[in-house]
Amino acid sequence: MNEETRTRREIEAAAPSLSGMWKMLSPRWRVIAVASLAICLFAASNLARPIVIQQAIDDGLIGGDGSAIVVASILFLALAFAGYVFQALSTYTVTWVGQQFLRDLRMRLFTHYQRLSMSFFDRESSGKLVARMTADMNALTDVLNNGFLMVVQALFLLLGTVVILFVLSWQLALISLIVLPPLVVATAIFRVYSAQAYEAVRDRISDVLVHMQETFAGMRVVQAYAREGHNVERFGAVNELNYEANLRTVRISSMYIPFIEWLGGVGVGLILYFGGRGVFGAEVSVGTVAAFIFYLNFIFQPIQQLSQVYDMLQSGTAALNKIFGLLAIEPELKEPRAAPPLARPVRGELKFDGVSFAYTPETVVLHSVGVTIEPGQRVALVGPTGAGKSTMAKLMMRFYDPTEGSVSLDGRDLRGVATAELRRTVIMVPQEGFLFSGTIAENILFGRPDATTEELIAACQALGVHDLIESLPSGYDTMVSYRGSRLSAGEKQLVSVARAFLADPPVLILDEATSSLDPGTESLVEAAIRRVLAGRTSVVIAHRLSTAEQAERVLVVDDGRIIEDGTHEELVTRDGYYAALHRKWMERSQPFEVASEAPD
């Protein structure tokens, strides 16, 4: 009962997604109609065959009429070929519609992802978003490729059979349909238990795979701590549990299947006995008895199929709801209706005017920040983790809109600037060098796709990274990817800086890497960063003393407020937060002092 109401609720909840799905399918309604018709005609050609045989038996064999056999044979042949044609037609058209729909849906969802604001990606786990595009789409593929076909065919066969049986002999139909209720009940019970059992199998096999994956990936640690023996024992247990879960599914189906087969035999027995006795009069001929026996198959198969499809439809509907649920989310940042272009050339004056910001209403991250960054100024943001430095950077990029106040560029509120133009004007280099899969050249060209190879190389030479790239196995054509790539952290950073340099934006925001880079590239990276910051407005979230020292202006951010503002020299003497931080920095680099002073 509980399950029933839950199912009904799910179906009601699915209404908007179903209408969304239909909107995408409706332009292809003609093909859908052809497919449905083909499925029905295929089923009909199957349904008609036993009648043809019945005619052949009654008129031909028993009636001794040779021409009836010839007619039946020709009809049978025609039905077989019609079945062939309609089956081929339905197989192709159903897949065509399904795959077209899936391709469109994939593109629509992915395009939607590109439209959504950064806040959305900060909130949602990436695993979930990937699953919408993969696992959920696959669940839909099942429904579209097989589910639709199976449902239409099974329902048509089932209803058609019942109608035909009643037309042939309503009394014998009633008798033989005695097997129907136990069949339906047994199948329903089986479905519940086997669904549970298969869910357990999925859990257990995932335990097995996770355990394997971890051991294989962490093999060095395993052996370093001599844990092999214990692991083998533990895995043995997990492996065995998976076996037992599988065995349970076997036990369940081993109870269901014999019952169904026995029920089929009972059906044949019933038809033989009651049909053969002739109690229902002359209308039940030998041919009719034979036809009933053949038709029995058309009752058993569809019911078993429908129970299979039921699970498929459930997960398909769930997937559809999740996908359309995502599609219904609107981007939080609205594109301005009319956005006149920024005055050229962009001077790069960034102004925070009474800006407050909160990710959630309870936690305010910025408290009415007011600051103006002059055109061409090199600014370092300094402060403890969580002070609001990155939030300020995100507001400058308009990844978020301020909760109160405004951020403006050259006097224009960012909310009134077209996103595409803003993105060309203000570019951010993230903390870790992120690489897209492709060549190094492609990764750098990401910043300005229309740049020529000469421009690309010139930019890299100007940055001092050309030699390093050339020294890689395939130079600029070295393949990299966002997962395993052979580049070191420093090399990735260099590619990332080169990308921004090629894009040449009037305003650059740089989130400095916190971790240290390998000694070989550290100095290269620092030189490249100096070069890329030169001659434009720049804001660096600084984690290093040297970076802060080089800035023209240091803003110390703490607890969502700017607490100190000045040059490095000014702030060091002011005896505030920055001066204290500077002292700590100097202490920490004590060994460095030894290193650089001792040789003198």
Partner 1 sequence: MTEEQLDLRAGAGLIAREIRRQARPLSLALLCALIWTIARLAIPVLTGEAIDRAIDVPGGPKLDLLLALALAVAAMAAVQGGAAAFRRYFAMSTSYRVETDLRGELYNRVNRLSFDYYDRTATGQLMSRGSTDLHEIQLLVVLIPINTAFLMMAVGAFFLLLRVHVALAVLAIGIYPLVTALTFRFYNKLFPATARVQQGLGDLTSVVEENIAGARLVRSFGREQHEIERLGRVADQIYDDNMEVARLRTAYTPLFFLLPALGQLVILAYGGWLVLEEQISVGEFVAFFQLLNMLVWPVQGLGEMVASAQRSVTSAARLWNVLREEPTIRQASHARSLPEGNGEVRFEDVWFSYEPDRPVLRDLSMRVPAGTAVALVGPTGCGKSTVAQLVPRFYDVDAGSIQIDGVDIRELKLQELRRSIGLVFEDTFLFSDTIGNNIAYGRLNASDEEIREAARLAQATEFIERLPEGYDTVVGEQGYSLSGGQRQRLAIARAVLTQPRVLILDDATSSVDARMEEEIRGALRQVMKGRTTIIISHRLATIALADQVVLLDEGRVLDMGTHTELMLSNERYREVLGQLAVTPR
* Residue choice 178, 257, 328, 534 for contact with partner 1 (CB under 8 A): 257
Q: According to CB under 8 A, which residues from 147 to 176 bind partner 1?
A: none
Q: What tokens appear for 423 in the block?
A: 């993105």
Binding mask 395-434 for partner 1 (x = CB under 8 A): --x-x-------------------xx--xx--xx-x---x
Residue 447 and residue 427 in contact, taking contact as beta carbons nearer than 8 Å: yes
**Candidates 31-39, 354-362, 544-552, 570-578 — which segment interacts with partner 1 by CB under 8 A?**
544-552
DSSP 145: I
Choice between 14 and 381, CB closer to partner 1: 381
User: What is the amino acid identity at position 87?
Assistant: Q
Q: According to CB under 8 A, which residues from 268 to 287 bind partner 1?
A: 268-270, 272-273, 275-278, 286
Q: Using the rule CB under 8 A, is 531 a contact of partner 1?
A: no
Minimum CB distance to partner 1, residue 495 (Å): 12
Q: According to CB under 8 A, which residues from 89 to 128 bind partner 1?
A: 91-92, 95-96, 99-100, 102-103, 106-107, 110-111, 113-115, 118, 121, 126
Residue 341, classed as helix, strand or coil, is coil
Give the end-to-end CA distance of the chain in Å, rounded to a whole number: 87
Q: Using the rule CB under 8 A, is 329 a contact of partner 1?
A: no
Q: Using the rule CB under 8 A, is 265 a contact of partner 1?
A: yes
Choice between 62 and 174, CB closer to partner 1: 62
Pairing of strands 438-439, 537-541: unpaired
Q: How many CB atoms lie under 10 A from the CB of residue 471?
A: 8
Q: According to CB under 8 A, which residues from 191 to 230 bind partner 1?
A: 208-210, 212-230
* Residue choice 48, 149, 289, 414 for contact with partner 1 (CB under 8 A): 289
Choice between 49 and 553, CB closer to partner 1: 49
**Do you know the residue count of the chain?**
600
C-alpha distance from residue 466 to each of 16, 137, 519 (Å): 55, 43, 18
Q: What tokens appear for 172 in the block?
A: 């014998």
Place of tokens 């993969």: 134
E-strand stretches of 325-411: 350-360, 363-373, 378-382, 404-409
Minimum CB distance to partner 1, residue 377 (Å): 21
Nearest to 499 by CA among 451, 443, 455, 450: 443
All residues at 6 or more sequence positions from 95 whose CB lies less than 8 Å from its CB, including other chains: 145
Q: According to CB under 8 A, which residues from 59 to 88 bind partner 1?
A: 60-62, 64, 66, 69-70, 72-73, 76-77, 79-81, 83-85, 87-88
Choice between 163 and 209, CB closer to partner 1: 209
Place of tokens 């001929």: 285
Choice between 14 and 109, CB closer to partner 1: 109
Binding mask 571-590 for partner 1 (x = CB under 8 A): -----------------xxx
* Residue choice 159, 174, 255, 534 for contact with partner 1 (CB under 8 A): 255
**Candidates 318-326, 348-356, 520-528, 569-577 — which segment interacts with partner 1 by CB under 8 A?**
520-528
Minimum CB distance to partner 1, residue 305 (Å): 14
Q: What tokens appear for 153 in the block?
A: 């065919």
Pairing of strands 426-429, 507-511: parallel
Q: How many CB atoms lie under 10 A from the CB of residue 296?
A: 22
